[in-house]
Structure 1
Amino acid sequence: MRKQLSIPVTALALLALAACGTESSAGSAGGGSVAPDVPLSGVRWSVDSLTVDGKRSAAPEGAHVEITDKGRAEGSYGCNQFGADVTVKGDTVTVGEGTMTEKACEGKVQGFEDALRGALTGELKAKLTDGRLTLTTGKGDTIALSAEKPAPLTGTKWTVDSLVDGTTAASVPAGTENKAHLTIAKDGTVGGSLGCNRFSSTAEVKGDTITFGRIAATRKLCPGPEMDLERQLTALLESGPVTYEVKDRSLTLTAENGKGVAARAAAS
């Protein structure tokens, strides 16, 4: 069983937001507040890299932190999801206990996750410079993060990474990771992959729903898991109006029966 871990970014958000309300703006009469370089709450922060013992490692695609309620952060190491509580005093962020999933990951990704968990322990110093966050351990190891721009619904390549059923979500079948994707063009045409076969369609966006038109797809024979994913995705797209939600760089499509998919935009 892995040791559960906390992520310190929310504490940094509270620190910066507190500073917004207390610092005086230089040269302003009456002492107006000083805004941070970038908003910290409600922002999806991408983990860019980790430097341990002077060796820099790029983060896996999808590694991120999102600030939610006060004192809480949630996100992904690039494979496993996490949630954590944090505390802060001045510019010192102290890591508390948290939770994370325990999904088996590809070797290189697993190595990064282990190193990141090791760095995010004890006290860290936080610094915000030009829209980038740096968290530094007592040993001098650093974690670099940057704010991601929200992805628009149209023109974005959305890669399916989980299957939704009501309030639960599960990873796509093993062997189908990063294979199913779709892009909705501004003119309403849709193209992508169902997991193995290429497809095209149309999309009519109305309010918070999308109605997809008839699906035209290639007819290549695919391995079992890929065909399972294709059948589920095809059934979703052909089910009539589906509810969609775009949050930062994530998209969910949900049918009336509560089943659907979650997808992510490529790293900005």
Structure 2
Amino acid sequence: MAVAALACLALAACGRESGAGARDGDGSGSVRTGPRVAGVHWNVDSVTAGGRRTAAPDGAHVLIDAKGRATGNFGCNHFTAETRTDGDTITVRRATTTAMGCDKNIERFEKALSRTFSGELTAAVTGRNLTLTTAAGDSIALTSESPAPLTGTTWTVTSLVSGTTASSLPGGTERTARLTFGADGSVRGALGCNSFRGTAEITGTTVTFGPVESTRMMCPDPAMKLERALLAVLDGRTTYRIDHRTLTLTAANGDGLGATAEKAGT
């Protein structure tokens, strides 16, 4: 009888173990855990709407916290929204955005992303990649990425800021300007035409730039226009803000720059 009782207990335990495996997603009717989406900073790679794929501008991202509040950037403007997750379905509702004026190409992307990031979306995670798909077949491709520190990171300048308006760089100067802050209080990089070096004292959320030394090459007008704008920002006291891998530097007069952390190998 003791042997029989032990055999029954063993069979019961096996049965429970098999049932637990079924709950992980074999379609047996038990609750299935969806992919992990909350608590991860997702960079937007592209949006495909109406069969047309559009690459995302630098800085577009989505972050959903444990309470279902989504925050992020559509490419220029920041947004917040409420979400509800049920298995692999994410429902997005009540989105609100800032209203900064943006480059027209970025505005078109923002409209496509905001329309797609709405309503019921099916989430699929593969490694570091997330795809959100609407019932109509439109989709958003995203990739998780680690946050960037201010120092030791190569920041590529992506926009110029004046007050509440962010504008794209002069034509032909994309990815030509960058800066890197050293742990020793130095800053170096490229201005779009000439390379430069100087000092940068970091205190709290401020960066105070000392005199900047640069090479003295002459370049086409767009590059020189960008260089003059950047030198005006990298002069004296500025405030900085890092949003995961996006850096904003703002001078006292409201002029500034936006930059993104370069990915490894770029």
In 2, the alpha carbon distance for the partners of 1:81 and 1:266 equals: 21
In 1, the alpha carbon distance for the partners of 2:48 and 2:253 equals: 46
Cross-structure match for 1:74: 72
Query: 1:13-28 alignment to 2 at 5 Å?
Result: none
In 2, the alpha carbon distance for the partners of 1:63 and 1:254 equals: 17
Cross-structure match for 1:158: 155
Cross-structure match for 2:211: 214
The SS at the match of 1:62 is coil
Is residue 40 of structure 1 aligned with residue 38 of structure 2? yes
Contact 1:161 1:178 in 2 (8 A): yes
Using the TM superposition, give the Cα deviation of residue 149 of structure 1 relative to its aligned residue in structure 2, in angstroms: 0.8
**Rg comparison, structure with higher value:** 2
Cross-structure match for 2:26: none
TM-score where L is the length of structure 2: 0.64
Point out where structure 2 has 5 or more consecutive residues left out of the alignment: 1-22, 24-32
Q: Which amino acid aligns with 1:202?
A: T
Is residue 251 of structure 1 aligned with residue 224 of structure 2? no
Provide Cα deviations, 1:221-257, integer angstroms capped at 9, x if missing partner.
223332222122112222x232222221111222233
In 1, the alpha carbon distance for the partners of 2:46 and 2:196 equals: 35
Point out where structure 1 has 5 or more consecutive residues left out of the alignment: 1-25, 27-34
Distance 1:185 1:63, change over 3 A: closer
Contact 2:239 2:250 in 1 (8 A): yes
Is residue 189 of structure 1 aligned with residue 186 of structure 2? yes
Contact 1:49 1:56 in 2 (8 A): no
Query: 1:34-183 alignment to 2 at 5 Å?
Result: 40-41=38-39, 43-48=40-45, 59-60=55-56, 62=58, 64-67=60-63, 71-76=69-74, 81=77, 83=79, 85=81, 87-88=83-84, 90-91=86-87, 92-94=89-91, 103-105=103-105, 123-128=120-125, 132-138=129-135, 142-166=139-163, 168-175=164-171, 176-183=173-180
In 2, the alpha carbon distance for the partners of 1:262 and 1:256 equals: 15
Greater relative contact order (CA < 8 Å, ≥ 6 in sequence): 1
- What is the RMSD computed on CA atoms of the aligned residues? 4.0
Cross-structure match for 2:257: 261
Cross-structure match for 1:200: 197
In 1, the alpha carbon distance for the partners of 2:36 and 2:91 equals: 22
TM-score where L is the length of structure 1: 0.64
In 2, the alpha carbon distance for the partners of 1:59 and 1:132 equals: 15
Identity in percent:
44
In 2, the alpha carbon distance for the partners of 1:148 and 1:50 equals: 18
Is residue 227 of structure 1 aligned with residue 224 of structure 2? yes
Give the paired residue count: 226
The SS at the match of 2:225 is helix
Provide Cα deviations, 1:166-197, integer angstroms capped at 9, x if missing partner.
4x132144313322211112333322111211
In 2, the alpha carbon distance for the partners of 1:68 and 1:126 equals: 13
